[in-house]
A and B are shown apart, each in its own frame.
Chain A
Amino acid sequence: MNIDEERVRQLAELAGISVADEDLSEVANRFASLMGELERLKELDLSDVQPVVIFPEEP
Chain B
Amino acid sequence: MAAENIVMMSAMDTASAIKAKEFSPLEAVRAYLDRIERLDSQLSAYITVCHEEALVAAEQALQALARGDQLGPLFGVPIAIKDQFWTAGILTTNGSRVYQDFVPDEDSTVVSRLKQAGGILLGKLNLSELAMGGTQDPPWGIPGNPWDLERTPGESSSGSGVALAAHLCAASIGEDTGGSGRGPAAYCGVVGMRPTFTRVSRYGMTPMCWFMDAAAPMTKTVQDCALMLGAIAGYDPKDPFTSRKPVPDYTSGLDRGVNGLRVGLIKELHESGDMHPEVKQAMEQSLEIFQEQGAVIQEVSIPLIPFAGAIFVGIADTEGAGARDEILREQPENLDRASRTRLQSAALVPAKVYNRAAKARVLLRRQFMEALNQVDIMVSPTSPYPAPKHVDLTAVFQTAEDVRSRFFFRRSYTGCYALTALPAISIPGGFTSDNLPIGLQLGARPFAEDTLFRAAYAFEQATAWHSRVAPFDVQ
Chain A residues with CB under 8 Å of chain B are 8, 11-12, 15-20, 23, 26-38, 40-42, 44, 46, 49-55, 57-58
The 10 closest A-B pairs by CB, nearest first: A37-B310, A51-B358, A33-B403, A30-B345, A33-B400, A31-B345, A32-B400, A46-B359, A49-B359, A26-B341
Stretch touching chain A among B38-46, B265-273, B360-368: B360-368
Q: List 9 A-B contacts (CB under 8 A).
A: A8-B348, A17-B328, A17-B347, A27-B345, A32-B403, A33-B400, A34-B345, A35-B349, A55-B197
The distance in angstroms between the C-alpha atoms of A39 and B356, with both chains bound, is 9
Given contacts A28-B345, A30-B342, A54-B241, 4 further A-B contacts (CB under 8 A): A12-B348, A27-B345, A37-B310, A38-B310
The distance in angstroms between the C-alpha atoms of A31 and B340, with both chains bound, is 13
Chain A proximity mask over B299-334: 1 for CB below 8 Å, otherwise 0: 000001001011101100100000000001100100
The distance in angstroms between the C-alpha atoms of A26 and B402, with both chains bound, is 11
B363–A30 touching, CB < 8 Å:
no
B353 within 8 Å of A (CB atoms): yes
Closest B residue by C-beta to A49: B359
B373 within 8 Å of A (CB atoms): no
B329–A50 touching, CB < 8 Å:
no
Closest B residue by C-beta to A26: B341
- Shortest Cβ gap from B323 to chain A (Å): 14
A37–B309 touching, CB < 8 Å:
yes
B359–A50 touching, CB < 8 Å:
yes
- Shortest Cβ gap from B214 to chain A (Å): 13
B344–A17 touching, CB < 8 Å:
yes
The distance in angstroms between the C-alpha atoms of A50 and B241, with both chains bound, is 20
- Shortest Cβ gap from B177 to chain A (Å): 14
The distance in angstroms between the C-alpha atoms of A21 and B340, with both chains bound, is 13
A40–B310 touching, CB < 8 Å:
yes
A31–B310 touching, CB < 8 Å:
no
Partner of B353, one of A20, A26, A38: A38
B355 within 8 Å of A (CB atoms): yes
B399 within 8 Å of A (CB atoms): yes
How many chain B residues touch the partner (CB < 8 A)? 52
Q: Which of A34, A49, A54, A57 has the most chain B CB within a 10 Å cutoff?
A: A34
- Shortest Cβ gap from B311 to chain A (Å): 7
Q: Which of B347, B361, B404, B421 has the most chain A CB within a 10 Å cutoff?
A: B347
Q: Which of A54, A55, A57, A58 has the most chain B CB within a 10 Å cutoff?
A: A55
Closest B residue by C-beta to A51: B358
B211 within 8 Å of A (CB atoms): yes
- Shortest Cβ gap from A21 to chain B (Å): 12
B363–A44 touching, CB < 8 Å:
yes
- Write out the residue numbers on chain A whose beta carbons fall within 8 Å of the beta carbon of B357: 38, 41
B307–A40 touching, CB < 8 Å:
yes
A34–B341 touching, CB < 8 Å:
no
Partner of B397, one of A30, A36, A38: A30
Partner of B402, one of A29, A34, A36: A29
B52 within 8 Å of A (CB atoms): no
- Write out the residue numbers on chain B whose beta carbons fall within 8 Å of the beta carbon of A50: 359, 362
Closest B residue by C-beta to A46: B359
Partner of A38, one of B304, B314, B446: B314
The distance in angstroms between the C-alpha atoms of A20 and B359, with both chains bound, is 33
Asked whether A54 and B211 contact (CB < 8 A) given A23-B340, A30-B341, A32-B400, the answer is: yes
- Shortest Cβ gap from A22 to chain B (Å): 9
B347–A46 touching, CB < 8 Å:
no
B408–A17 touching, CB < 8 Å:
no
A35–B353 touching, CB < 8 Å:
yes
- Write out the residue numbers on chain B whose beta carbons fall within 8 Å of the beta carbon of A31: 345, 348-349
Asked whether A34 and B313 contact (CB < 8 A) given A17-B329, A29-B400, A50-B362, the answer is: yes
- Write out the residue numbers on chain B whose beta carbons fall within 8 Å of the beta carbon of A27: 341, 344-345
The distance in angstroms between the C-alpha atoms of A37 and B16, with both chains bound, is 50
Partner of B359, one of A18, A28, A36, A51: A51
The distance in angstroms between the C-alpha atoms of A35 and B311, with both chains bound, is 11
